[in-house]
Amino acid sequence: MATNKWVLDIAHSEIHFKIRHLVIANITGAFNVFSGTLETKEHDNFNNASINFMIDVYSVDTNNTTRDEHLKSDDFFNADIYPQIDFQSTAFIHIEGDKYKLEGNVTIKGITKTVTLDALFGGEAKDGFGINRAGFEITGKINRNDFGIHAPDVTETGGLVLGEEIKMFANIQFTNETE
């Protein structure tokens, strides 16, 4: 059985996150540089696919340069030592209809934890150049403390500068390299 290889199309993909700030509002950010692959054992069947993502921490973008530089510092991501976030799937399970569960290991700041994400298959189609594409929407949550991402101690706010839960959202398209 031949393996079908898919590559993430970054021109038609995005990775975003949200986190509570001062427990009153969300701050939204994105990572603008990333790559990924998807491998399937059967054509037109993504069940049990293998999925990998690599995110460049230096590409964090919250629409505020000062905040972005702070997020790259050792107060948060420590990008000089840990410049990449990695995800390696351990299972991609078809639930029903277009719904899947994506399970895997995410590594942030050298700490690897198992996560379970929701994936919604958007469909598969050929573009105007005859390239087969597949789209997915992936959502989930992680706890920043699990990865050593601790907000600096700010006594004026009682230490409630950032929420612990980070909401993740990825809208991604893959192109099939097998065909």
Provide the pLDDT confidence category of residue 44 given band limits of 50, 70 and 90. Answer: low
Neighbours of 6 (CB within 10 A): 22
Which amino acid would we find at residue 95? I
CB within 8 A of 1, min separation 6: which ones? 41, 42
143 versus 104: which is more confidently predicted? 104
In terms of CATH, what superfamily is 4-176? Lipid/polyisoprenoid-binding, YceI-like (2.40.128.110)
Model pTM score: 0.88
Q: Do residues 109 and 62 make contact, with C-beta atoms less than 8 angstroms apart?
A: no
51-107 pLDDT per residue, tens? 999 999 999 999 999 989 988 998 889 999 999 999 999 999 999 999 999 999 999
Q: Do residues 139 and 101 make contact, with C-beta atoms less than 8 angstroms apart?
A: no
Closest listed residue to residue 143, CA positions, set 119, 107, 167: 167
Type and span of the H or E element at 72 = helix 65-72
Provide the pLDDT confidence category of residue 174 given band limits of 50, 70 and 90. Answer: very high
Chain CA centroid to CA 104, Å: 11
Predicted pLDDT at 151 = 66
